């Protein structure tokens, strides 16, 4: 896939993820739109369509993110206490959003 085409698809997916995360947190920022496809020689691909939640420990508290099945963060909301983050996660689980338990790739 060409870079520009992959970027457009990835940006649409992160817009959807940001809108979804905002429903639970009230605020959210876009994160990663592209992932590198190292094995196939095809260059860049858009992040996946899946929206899985994850809680990541950061410098000033916890970050809640929506990521794809490979752990690429598409939307992030930050700094929450453990109690706040668990409450948000419980609402997401109640709406059938699954948890991602692997290593999350956050934007640098």
- pLDDT tens track for 46-64: 999 999 999 999 888 999 9
Distances in Å between the Cα of 102 and the Cα atoms of 19, 41, 72, 86, 99 are 23, 25, 10, 17, 9
Helix (H/G/I), strand (E/B), else coil: 61: coil
Question: Can you give the pLDDT of all 108 residues of the chain as single tens digits?
Answer: 788 999 999 999 999 999 999 999 999 999 999 987 766 566 789 999 999 999 999 888 999 999 999 999 999 998 999 999 999 999 999 999 999 999 999 987
Burial of 75 (0-12, 13-18, 19+ CB in 10 A): buried
Helix (H/G/I), strand (E/B), else coil: 39: coil
Torsion of CA 16, 105, 49, 36, to 10 degrees: 120
Q: Which residues of 76-107 are buried (b: 16+ CB within 10 A; e: fewer)?
A: bbbebeeeebeebbeebeeeebeebeeebbbe
């Amino acid at each position: 896939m060409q870079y520009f085409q992959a970027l457009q698809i990835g940006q649409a997916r992160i817009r959807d993820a940001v809108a979804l995360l905002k429903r639970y947190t009230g605020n959210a920022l876009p994160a990663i739109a592209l992932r590198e496809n190292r094995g196939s020689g095809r260059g860049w691909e858009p992040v996946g369509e899946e929206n899985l939640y994850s809680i990541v420990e950061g410098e000033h508290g916890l970050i809640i993110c929506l990521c794809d099945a490979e752990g690429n963060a598409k939307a992030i909301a930050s700094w929450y206490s453990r109690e706040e983050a668990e409450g948000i996660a419980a609402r997401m689980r109640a709406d059938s959003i699954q948890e991602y338990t692997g290593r999350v790739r956050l934007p640098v």
